[in-house]
C-alpha cells in the first residue's frame, strides 16, 4: 500500500505534463485564430471556413466513407478472426503478418498500384461489362475505390483491436454454450460473441474513423476530395485561416469520436442487463 501511495503523485505529474504538452499548443492555436490585433476576439476565421464552398460536402463524404469502411472491415475481420481462433489457431501468425503489411507498404507505392489497376479499365476492359464496374467504383459522389483502399489501410489497427478483445474472452466456451442452447453458428456469433467484443469493436471503429478522416495521400493522388483534402486545399496563404482549419478539423474528429463512444456507452447497460 505504501508503494502504491508513493506512486500516485508521480502519476499526477505525468498526466499534468502530458496535458500541458497536448493542450498548450492547441490553446495557442485557438488564441491565434480568434485574436485580431486592435480588434480583440474575432471569430471571422471560423465563419469564413463554415461558409466556404465544399465544407459540408467534403465532411459528409468523409463520414460516408468512414461508415462504409467501418462496416466492411468489421464484416470481414470479425467472422474471420473468430473462425481463426476456433478452427485454425496455428494460422494466427500468418494472418497477423498479412494484416500488418499495410504498415510496411508506403502510401505512395500503395496508391500507385491502385492507379495502375484503375488504368486497366479504359485500356483493356473498355469492350467488356467490367468496364462499367471500373467507372462505378470511381464515382466522385461516393468513390468505392477509397473505401477499398481504407479497408486495407485499417487492417493492422482493426486486427490488433479485435485480437486483444478475443484474447480477453473464451470464444470456444461461448460458442459451445450458444450451440447447446440451439443456436447456429451465425446466431452464436451475434448473440454470444459480439456482446463480449463491444469494447474491441468500439476501439476498432475509433481507429478506422480517425484514419479515414485524416487520410490525405491516397485521396489526393486519386483525384477525390474528402474532408482531409478539402482542408489542405482551402488553407491557402492566409495564416490565421490555415490554423483555424486545422483546429476545426481536430475538433470535428474529437466530436465524432466522443459521439461514437457515447453511442457505445448507452448500449452497454441494456446488453449487460439482458445477459444477467
Which tens digit of pLDDT belongs to each residue from 14-47? 888 888 888 888 888 888 888 777 777 777 777 7
Q: What percent of the chain has pLDDT over 70?
A: 88
Per-residue confidence (pLDDT) for residue 160, from 0 to 100: 92
Least confident segment among 9-13, 106-110, 209-213? 9-13
pLDDT band of 273, cuts 50, 70, 90: very low
pTM, to two decimals: 0.81
- Nearest partner of 105 among 93, 113, 95, judged by Cα: 113
* DSSP codes of every residue in 229-270: HHHHHHHTT-HHHHHHHHHHHHHHHHHHHHHHHHHHHHHHHH
Task: Report residue 130 CA to chain centroid gap.
Answer: 30
pLDDT band of 237, cuts 50, 70, 90: low
Question: Distance (Å, rounded) from C-alpha 193 to C-alpha 166?
Answer: 9
* 126-152: pLDDT as tens digits: 677 777 877 888 888 999 999 999 999
Homologous superfamily in CATH for domain 57-275: MetI-like (1.10.3720.10)
Average pLDDT over residues 91-112: 90
Q: Where is pLDDT greater, at 111 or 87?
A: 111
Question: Distance (Å, rounded) from C-alpha 244 to C-alpha 13?
Answer: 31
Per-residue confidence (pLDDT) for residue 219, from 0 to 100: 93
pLDDT band of 155, cuts 50, 70, 90: very high
Coil, strand or helix at 182: coil
C-alpha cell at position 254:
474529437
Average pLDDT over residues 110-127: 80
Give yes or no for a contact between 204 and 97, defined as CB atoms under 8 angstroms apart. Answer: no
Task: Report residue 150 CA to chain centroid gap.
Answer: 9
Average pLDDT over residues 66-92: 91
- Nearest partner of 184 among 196, 195, 176, 194, judged by Cα: 176
C-alpha cell at position 211:
484514419
pLDDT band of 268, cuts 50, 70, 90: very low
Per-residue confidence (pLDDT) for residue 264, from 0 to 100: 64
Per-residue confidence (pLDDT) for residue 266, from 0 to 100: 55
Judge whether residue 7 has pLDDT over 70: no
Please provide the average confidence, as pLDDT, over all residues in the chain.
Answer: 82
Amino acid at each position: 500500500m505504501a508503494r502504491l501511495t508513493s506512486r500516485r503523485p508521480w502519476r499526477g505529474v505525468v498526466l499534468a505534463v502530458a496535458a500541458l504538452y497536448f493542450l498548450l499548443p492547441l490553446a495557442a492555436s485557438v488564441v491565434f485564430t480568434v485574436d485580431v490585433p486592435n480588434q480583440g476576439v474575432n471569430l471571422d476565421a471560423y465563419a469564413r471556413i463554415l461558409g466556404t464552398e465544399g465544407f459540408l460536402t467534403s465532411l459528409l463524404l468523409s463520414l460516408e466513407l468512414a461508415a462504409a469502411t467501418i462496416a466492411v472491415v468489421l464484416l470481414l475481420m470479425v467472422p474471420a478472426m473468430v473462425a481463426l481462433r476456433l478452427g485454425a489457431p496455428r494460422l494466427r501468425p500468418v494472418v497477423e503478418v498479412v494484416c500488418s503489411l499495410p504498415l510496411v507498404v508506403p502510401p505512395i507505392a500503395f496508391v500507385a498500384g491502385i492507379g495502375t489497376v484503375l488504368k486497366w479499365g479504359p485500356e483493356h476492359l473498355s469492350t467488356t461489362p467490367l468496364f462499367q464496374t471500373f467507372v462505378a467504383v470511381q464515382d466522385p459522389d461516393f468513390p468505392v475505390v477509397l473505401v477499398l483502399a481504407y479497408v486495407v489501410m485499417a487492417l493492422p489497427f482493426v486486427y490488433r483491436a479485435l485480437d486483444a478483445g478475443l484474447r480477453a474472452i473464451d470464444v470456444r466456451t461461448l460458442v459451445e454454450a450458444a450451440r447447446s442452447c440451439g443456436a447456429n453458428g451465425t446466431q452464436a456469433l451475434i448473440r454470444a460473441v459480439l456482446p463480449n467484443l463491444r469494447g474491441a469493436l468500439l476501439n476498432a471503429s475509433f481507429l478506422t474513423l480517425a484514419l479515414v478522416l485524416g487520410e490525405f495521400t491516397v485521396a489526393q493522388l486519386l483525384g477525390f476530395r474528402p474532408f482531409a483534402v478539402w482542408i489542405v486545399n482551402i488553407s491557402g496563404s492566409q495564416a490565421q485561416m490555415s490554423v483555424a482549419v486545422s483546429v476545426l478539423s481536430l475538433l470535428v474528429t474529437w466530436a465524432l469520436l466522443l459521439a461514437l463512444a457515447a453511442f457505445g456507452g448507452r448500449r452497454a447497460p441494456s446488453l449487460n442487463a439482458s445477459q444477467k
